A = this chain, B = another copy of it.
Amino acid sequence: MQTTEQTPQHHHDASRAAARRQQILNAAAQCFREHGFHGASIALISKTASMSPGHIYHYFENKEAIIAAIVAQDLESLLTLTAELRAACNVRAALIERAAEGVFDQLDQAGAALKLEIVAEAARNPHIAQIVREADATCRRELAITIGEIRRSTGHDDTPAAVGEMVEVLASLFEGLLLRTIRNPGLDRTRVAQRIQIAINDLLDQPG
């Protein structure tokens, strides 16, 4: 679809529709965080979004489409973050410094609740699993390039598989924080972030 040049601006234009769509997604994200994908009803989402239940179906085919959109939106932020990391610069210090911010992001309770909900859903819903796995593969690819370059610059000559394993360990270290912040909300964020930085530093020095 190509956009017409002078943007005709009907009452019913595309930007208003997009805003309405986002309004639904924001409400849905909040409801899903508080009640889970299956615990949040369309009635509740519509109420939170201040519109009628029926109207939601003008923007989404069904509830699963809303879930898929939320999942895609959440993963997209992850993808841009990984891309940023990669674009910034490939030095070790930059990765490790960025990691501290990443730790704080992961430790946000509301965000963690939604991310956990997504992966739990992926474990049983093949459609969601596909979305999640494609995004994860992209992240891993990016991270592998970054880590590969860091390793090469410190004299290591790793196989792609070896780099892939390090990516897994790094990812595990980060994603585990989503569970930690639920299981132990009182943990010392700053101190844990520091220790994770050290752990990442050590990880980058593992034998090939």
Residues of A within 8 A of B (CB): 33-39, 109, 112-113, 116-117, 119-124, 129, 132-133, 136-137, 140, 161, 164-166, 168-169, 171-180, 182-185, 187-188, 191-192, 194-196, 198-199, 202-203, 206-207
Contact of A183 with B112 at beta-carbon distance under 8 Å, contacts A36-B121, A38-B36 already known: no
Contact of A136 with B166 at beta-carbon distance under 8 Å, contacts A38-B38, A109-B123, A123-B112 already known: no
Which residues of chain B are near A185, meaning CB under 8 Å? 133
Copies in the complex: 2
Q: Are B123 and A191 in contact (CB under 8 A)?
A: no
Measured in the bound complex, the distance between the Cα atoms of B87 and A139 in whole Å is 40
* Residues of A contacting B: mostly: helix
Q: Are A116 and B113 in contact (CB under 8 A)?
A: no
Most B CB within 10 A of own CB, among A35, A179, A187, A207: A179
- Shortest CB–CB separation between residue A8 and chain B, in angstroms? 43
